[in-house]
Chains A and B, each alone.
Chain A
């Protein structure tokens, strides 16, 4: 059962989550290097967002967005090309952006410099830090594009 950020919905977790998958992060996440076990799931109440939940620290979770939803944007295409140079593509991997809330105007930004990549066959994931400096840490998301 998912915990932490979703605690307020805990009694209804089966209704707000679907397609849950447990994944292992061999190196953790930058900032949370000791955490290696996570759950990723679709948020039923809040499409198209996904949720990444630590299975080791109940209060830690973050929002993800499937990169396929933004693939037509120029900067996202550039990010995908950078990943392809590392033999990471959308056919064999699930690629997500990590989102951050901009509290002043209640919008989100996405980190397109360091996408979150899942290898479904191995049930492993990692955050890939790209070298291209034109890819931003705080790429603004247009709600209407989702």
Chain B
């Protein structure tokens, strides 16, 4: 993992068109701003992992289970 030190107001550039700026630092957390093309999804890691988990469970669905919904 690349580790870089930045202060509030300083930025990082990833590739040619993604810029991450440290907006604010406080004990225990930092606030960052992200400038990225609209087609690049940006997510909180823990939320993305939860969606991954939910999707894996949803993929295991069997059609038989639908019969309980069938009227």
Contacts and interface: CB of A to CB of B under 8 A. Distances in A.
B65 A32 contact: no
A111 B66 contact: no
Contacts of A29: 55
A146 B71 CA distance: 10
Contacts of B61: 5, 61-63, 99-101
Contacts of B6: none
A60 interface: yes
A99 B63 CA distance: 12
Chain B interface size, under 10 / 10 to 19 / 20 to 34 / 35 or more: 20 to 34
Interface of A: 5-6, 8-9, 26-27, 29-32, 43, 45-46, 49, 60-63, 98-101, 103, 106-108, 111, 113-114, 126-127, 129, 137-138, 143, 146
A62 B55 contact: yes
Contacts of B50: 137
A126 B70 CA distance: 28
Given A8-B63, A62-B59, A100-B57, 8 more contacts: A9-B63, A31-B52, A32-B56, A98-B58, A99-B58, A100-B58, A111-B51, A129-B43
Interface SS of chain B: helix
Contact of B51 (A99, A103, A107, A114): A114
Interface of B: 39, 41, 43, 47-48, 50-59, 61-63, 65-66, 68-70
Of the listed residues B65, B68, B70, the one surrounded by the most CB atoms of chain A closer than 10 A to its CB is: B65
A108 B66 CA distance: 9
A113 B54 CA distance: 11
